[in-house]
Chain A
Amino acid sequence: MRNLSAKWSGDRIELAAMFAFLAAVILFFSIAAPNFLSLGIFRSMAFQLPELGLLTLAMFIPIIAGGLNLAVTFSANICGLAAAFVVQSALMNHGIVAIPAALLISIFTGLVIGMLIGAMVAYVGAHPILVTLGAMILLRGIGETVTRGGDISGMPDVFEVIGHGSLFGIPVPMIIFLAAVGLCFYIMQFTKLGFSIHMVGSNPKAALFSGINVNRVLVWVYGLSGALSGLAGFLMLTRFNSVRVGHGESYLLITILACFLAGANPFGGFGRVLPLAVGLISLQVIASGMNLMGASQHLATVAWGAFLIVVMAVRAPFQTKS
């Protein structure tokens, strides 16, 4: 009995619960919306989910480290902007080269922004909420100044391949998102950095006394978060063929809630990538299902809020107390 309960403790229960929620949501919509179970619906979901998904991963890592990154959405915008700027000024007629160039520029810009934020959190010692809130407003200001509040549009046609293409029937954005999930899962579960992030999130002082370079870990935490934001910015650029500062802004609080939905500890130190991915898929199923039933987008937001609250309430009795 003891063995069984230990085997089924923590992580597995969390993942099983998230799958159960997902199954429940799919079951509901396949009954309520008759043509829900079709390939087309799932394909459209697979195009829409990755943006929110990548931003949520970008939020997730700082939360595990006991912090928060409120600058994820505007980081993504700035990264997209940087890539669009370089592509438009130098790579419009260079065909396929523009894609890896835009990808690398987005990720690199995100990494730099994130590491600067991380350095502020680590070496200045300011609270992550303050640092990232400041960064968020700063980035928004820079973006709006540069774009004068409008769009930067007109990317090379090859961007279609990423934003709207499919590989073996799977939308490319989904492949990118799944790759990011795989990478985050690996980093968090199977590397020294991932181990250290969990320890720093639980108790930075004790981690420091145990020989962990807490400051360096924090720089990497926000660096990774920024790089993931950059990847999200790249996807937005390829999907909409344009960048607008403020795009995805409404996702910010949802990314935070989605992390807690998947069992991340608000005080840091605990949380797993896989339940997070499954939880995100549930949110997308709700949005698409509501859409299919003819409900307005605003009603879908109501359903998300309700879903998050219900999951929290159901989970509360099982959540490990510290």
Chain B
Amino acid sequence: MTDYALKAENITQKFGAFSALKNVSFDLKVGEVHCLAGENGCGKSTLIKVINGVHRPEPGARIGFGSGQSAGHITPSDAKRNGVHVIWQDLAVFPDLTVAENITFDSFVASPLKPVGSRDRKRRVNEIIARLDIDLDPDELVGNLSIAKRQLVAICRVLDADAKIIFMDEPTASLTRKETESLLRIVRRLSAAGISVVFVSHRLAEVLDVCERVTVLRDGNLVGTYPTEGMSQKKLSKLMTGMDVHEEPRGPQTFGETAIEVKGLTRRGEFADVSFAVRRGEILGLTGLMGSGRTEIALTLFGMNKADAGQILLEGKPVSFGSNKDAIAAGIAYVSEDRLNLGLIQNQSIINNTAITVLDDLADPPVFLAPSRLSQLCTSWIARLKTKVSDPRLPVSVLSGGNQQRIVLAKWLATNPKVLILDAPTVGVDVGAKAGIFEIVRDLAATGMSIILISDEASEIHTHADRCLILRNGRIHQQLDPADVDEEKLEELINA
């Protein structure tokens, strides 16, 4: 007989006329590691919030913890009493407090008059750190820690609050492979101690092998709960999206003349002696771990940073950029990896976000920027890139990740670039929408645009790049034809 840590049945959650969850059931065994999977907007977060007591589901729901009574809904204090904790993606740690202060924060709130540095607290912090066998200095300021270490602080904090069920929202999204592995090791340790962990993720490969079961949601419906044994990433994608996402490798192509060439490009502390060339119509994959220099090279090509040495040649002519404005004028476009903060101005309209790169072209005469020309531009790109937009005057933030990325592409394609740099173009884009983005990218290459595709996802590089450069510590470590290796081998080379 299995012991359940949590059983939730018949959960329906409505927001107005919209049903975010439809009759969903979810259970969790004691000490189990469970994966909650689904695309953005499928109801994952809503389900967590129901279990956490934030939302009250429709009548008919049954939620119970351990051997206790089940109830129609949970209050936040029920959740707390039963040891339910959520570590959200933004972690919600306090950067100006020390590791120890962060970890004991909840008990500090409970008894605020007790001195923060009391011996009892220090002992508890050391105990938890020892229990997880991790390297964490209790007196360090959290603001000085890497994301991976902040995550450990967040985990320690819920352990200090006596967590029995931990939900982790996209815990691996900003971790390197090594950091992910050490996180998974800690999760196994928690599980062995009888704590249940739920991973919420849409980057699946890495969590599949640590999870015992996976529950898949789609559009608020429960698709099913499956054992992970025998579950492949492909099969899981299909369950999540409801469609067969299958992309053919590009195969041999013919290219035009060299569009951009880089010779001995160096920027101290970032990258050194980088040389490569991209021809018209070619997709060059640029890959490597975070910090390997991939984004830094892109920012220098885009004129944001100056190189210390080396040369950039556009169509054979040496160029030098005073700012990214010069780079844009010369025909270089850069799709940032950080769509939320750098790629788009989230609270401005879809129209404004599309037009922002081409104000000089739209203003005619130069002192008059006609609103009608802005909306015409936007409408035509929405149609060309088949973007789903109900009203282009709405803030761009209302769009899904995939559609937002199409607007980013639109704003750069409007500048008529010769070289398009795509930095992690599918971050936060659903599995189904990824294929659509790459379809556009391939079409662009077919028109003779040179594309530099920066990604740390081996499958993307393998499927879409014609040639691939692997960066390591700011230098080109290896150049290869993706067709010569299989995906697993490429993954290994990137992460080595």
Contacts and interface: CB of A to CB of B under 8 A. Distances in A.
A212 B348 contact: no
A198 B390 CA distance: 23
B334 A192 contact: no
A151 B440 CA distance: 69
Nearest to B328: A211
A10 B352 CA distance: 15
B346 interface: yes
A38 interface: no
Contacts of A62: none
Interface string A196-240: 101100110111111111000000000000000000000000000
Interface string B329-343: 000001010000111
22 contacts: A189-B371, A190-B369, A191-B367, A191-B368, A192-B363, A195-B355, A196-B359, A199-B345, A199-B356, A203-B348, A206-B341, A207-B345, A207-B356, A208-B324, A210-B356, A211-B324, A211-B325, A211-B328, A212-B359, A213-B323, A269-B348, A270-B347
A207 B359 CA distance: 12
Given A9-B393, A192-B363, A195-B369, A206 B345 contact: yes
Contacts of A189: 371
Contact of A199 (B323, B328, B352, B393): B352
B291 to A, nearest CB: 20
B357 interface: yes
A206 B370 contact: no
Nearest to B326: A211
Contacts of A269: 345, 347-348
A2 B357 CA distance: 30
Contacts of B345: 199, 202-203, 206-207, 210, 269
Contact of B391 (A6, A190, A208, A210): A6
Contacts of A199: 345, 348, 352, 356
A192 B393 CA distance: 18
A198 B411 contact: no
B369 A191 contact: yes
Contacts of A194: 369
A292 B341 CA distance: 53
Residue among B323, B344, B348, B367 facing the most chain A CB atoms (10 A cut-off)? B348
A89 interface: no
A206 B343 contact: yes
A120 B478 CA distance: 46
Contacts of B360: 192
A205 B342 CA distance: 6
Contacts of B352: 195, 198-199
B300 to A, nearest CB: 14
A250 interface: no
Contact of A205 (B341, B370, B393): B341
A207 B342 CA distance: 8
Contact of B346 (A192, A203, A211, A270): A203
Contacts of B363: 191-192
Interface string A1-40: 0100010011000000000000000000000000000000
Contacts, number: 76
Q: Which 10 A-B pairs have the closest CB atoms?
A: A210-B356, A192-B359, A203-B345, A211-B328, A209-B342, A322-B347, A206-B345, A202-B345, A211-B325, A192-B363
Residue among B356, B360, B368, B391 facing the most chain A CB atoms (10 A cut-off)? B356
Contact of A190 (B334, B371, B390, B415): B371
Contacts of B328: 211
A206 B344 contact: yes
Contact of B341 (A6, A198, A203): A203
Given A199-B348, A269-B348, A212 B369 contact: no
Nearest to A210: B356
Residue among B323, B334, B369 facing the most chain A CB atoms (10 A cut-off)? B369
A209 B334 contact: yes
Contacts of A209: 304, 324, 334, 336, 342-343
Contacts of A208: 324
A151 B347 CA distance: 48
A198 B371 CA distance: 14
Contacts of B391: 2, 6
Contacts of B324: 208-209, 211
B321 to A, nearest CB: 11
B101 to A, nearest CB: 28
A210 B347 contact: no
Contacts of B304: 209
Interface string B362-380: 0100111111000000000
Contacts of B334: 209
A322 B323 CA distance: 30
Contacts of B393: 6, 9-10
B359 A195 contact: yes
Residue among A189, A203, A206, A207 facing the most chain B CB atoms (10 A cut-off)? A206
Contact of B342 (A195, A202, A206): A206
Nearest to A268: B347
Nearest to A265: B347
B350 to A, nearest CB: 13
Contacts of A10: 393
Contacts of A190: 368-371
Nearest to A200: B345
Contacts of B336: 209
Contacts of A6: 391, 393
Given A198-B352, A203-B341, 20 more contacts: A2-B391, A190-B368, A191-B363, A192-B359, A192-B360, A199-B352, A202-B345, A205-B341, A206-B344, A206-B345, A208-B324, A210-B357, A211-B357, A212-B356, A212-B359, A213-B323, A213-B325, A269-B347, A269-B348, A270-B347
Contacts of B343: 206, 209
Nearest to A213: B325
A164 to B, nearest CB: 34
A198 B391 CA distance: 20
Interface in B241-262: none
Contacts of A196: 359
Nearest to B335: A209
Interface in A57-114: none
